[in-house]
Amino acid sequence: MLALDFWFDFASTYSYPAAMRIGRLAATAAVTVRYRPFLLGPIFKAQGWDTSPFNVYPAKGRAMWRDLERVCEDEGLPFRRPEPFPQNSLLPARVAIYGLTQDPVRDWGEAFCTEVFRLQFCDGGRIDNPEALASILARLGVDAKAALGAAQSNANKLRLRDETAEAQRLGIFGAPSFVTASGELFWGNDRLEQALRWAER
Amino acid sequence: MLALDFWFDFASTYSYPAAMRIGRLAATAAVTVRYRPFLLGPIFKAQGWDTSPFNVYPAKGRAMWRDLERVCEDEGLPFRRPEPFPQNSLLPARVAIYGLTQDPVRDWGEAFCTEVFRLQFCDGGRIDNPEALASILARLGVDAKAALGAAQSNANKLRLRDETAEAQRLGIFGAPSFVTASGELFWGNDRLEQALRWAER
């Protein structure tokens, strides 16, 4: 089976259309996608940024918001601009990592990721709000209190830290990114189709 | 007739595939493209960069070179990595502006632009080399000495400065960029097809 790693940060704007498109496109391409949530914050910090580059560079930011609107329109995706931006993606990333590494794998992790993107970019919600995350988990039939507790365990926190370090090691500098088994790196929602063509066994 | 402005810097890596693709795609879409060479340098400087962001941020740079290789391969375009990078695009930009604003417009300006990109990304040449530019002009049937002289006139230097200021005013922060008559801005070779769909009268 062909495989591709999908690296994303819940606060990343273009990770939203990528997350909404990847299931359908990967199924068509017969590629198994591994969801790899991580944190861009430490990677941006290493580049000298304390916030999103879209805030650091206002002209780039203005163009991105308009571009994202057009991209979502072309894809038939609803779009609401998150407030504040960027949102704090630490808690949903921890919950997602916990869900994705549960046994059996992919029990609810991927569905949770999709719903977190929807919460932020469709419903105008805040992804750092534990109640909002609990409500997503409940809708997915997950014991929210137990999952949020496990997500905040030291072992799980460490897992997210390790994943972020692994992203950095792979040369990832933004999100979404797609990485093949041999380390071929693709950056951006625009590269999803190409990355799927490069997926490897 | 539908129209679209094509803003580019000769030193910009993704301006190369855009310049090689735009003629064919615009003809198919029945869009008249106006070539607008400008200088990214002053715009980067305003963002605090003394060189290309691909040099400032090495991980981003490494990924860009590999991505550009793949993009060119997909498009069937030859590709050689320019040395040094970025090259100094001041002289070819001045010559191009002069050619593009000659009467009759587009006598040789667009062909010159294409050949400068080819010199840099196919032949491994330096675009700041007056002899190399003179040889392109001669091949296009242009009096090279006269054109290089006119390109360095104060009036023509000012024209390039004005174009760069206009790019900044339009919110352009990178190249290639595409702008419609009403100011709809698209950034990147990846957006060429979409920009052509948005072209306006």
- The answer, yes or no, to whether residue A162 has pLDDT greater than 90, is yes
Tell which CATH architecture fits domain A2-198: 3-Layer(aba) Sandwich (3.40)
- Region B21-47: what's the mean pLDDT? 96
- Residue A1's pLDDT band, with cuts at 50, 70 and 90, is confident
Q: Residue A24, class by beta-carbon neighbours within 10 Å (0-12 exposed, 13-18 middle, 19+ buried)?
A: exposed
Contact A63 B190 (CB under 8 A): no
Provide φ and ψ at A54, rounded to 5°.
-70, -20
Q: Where are the domains of chain B?
A: 2-198
- Place A104 in a pLDDT band, splitting at 50, 70 and 90: low
pLDDT band, residue A107 (cuts 50/70/90): confident
Lowest mean pLDDT among A111-125, B43-57, B130-144: B43-57
Q: Can you give the pLDDT at residue A106?
A: 57
pLDDT of res. B42: 94
Question: For position B102, what pLDDT does the model report?
Answer: 83
DSSP notation for chain A: -EEEEEEE-TT-TTHHHHHHHHHHHHHHHTEEEEEEE--HHHHHHHTT-SS-HHHHSHHHHHHHHHHHHHHHHHHT------SSSS---HHHHHHHHHHHTSSSTTSSHHHHHHHHHHHHHTS---TT-HHHHHHHHHHTT--HHHHHHHHTSHHHHHHHHHHHHHHHHTT--SSSEEE-TT--EEESGGGHHHHHHH-B-
The tokens 């580059």 sit on which residue?
Answer: A53
pLDDT bin (cut points 50, 70, 90) of residue B48 is confident
Distance from CA of B118 to the nearest CA of A (A): 25
pLDDT digits over B77-134, tens only?
999 999 999 999 999 999 999 999 986 655 899 999 999 999 999 999 999 999 999 9
Predicted pLDDT of residue B28? 97
Higher pLDDT, A102 or B69: B69
CA separation (Å) from B130 to B15, B67, B127, B133, B151? 21, 30, 8, 5, 11
Q: What are A44-96's pLDDT values in tens digits?
A: 998 889 999 999 999 999 999 999 999 999 999 999 999 999 999 999 999 99
Average the pLDDT over A145-153 and give the result.
96
Interface residues of A toward B, Cβ cutoff 8 Å, are 47, 57, 59-60, 62-63, 66-67, 70, 74, 171-174, 184-188, 190-191, 194
Per-residue pLDDT for A41 more than 70?
A: yes
Residue B1, pLDDT score: 86
Chain A interface test: which of B40, B70, B72, B166 (most A C-beta within 10 Å): B70
Beta strands in B18-130 (DSSP E): 31-37
Verify whether the Cβ–Cβ distance A47 to B57 is below 8 Å.
yes
Percentage with pLDDT > 70 across chain A: 98
pLDDT in tens, B153-196: 999 999 999 999 999 999 999 999 999 999 999 999 999 999 99
CA B102 remoteness from chain centre: 18
Residue B106: the pLDDT is 57
| Mean local confidence (pLDDT), A165-170 | 97
Q: How far away is chain A from the Cα of B171, in angstroms, using its nearest Cα?
A: 6
Among the listed residues B184, B172, B195, B136, the one whose alpha carbon sits nearest the alpha carbon of residue B18: B195
A103 or A36, greater pLDDT: A36
Residues of A in contact with B60 (CB under 8 A): 173-174
ipTM of the complex: 0.94
Predicted local distance difference test score (pLDDT) of residue B107: 85
Distances (CA, A) of B98 to A169, B102, B131, B157: 47, 6, 17, 9
Look at residue B201 in the predicted model and tell me its pLDDT.
86
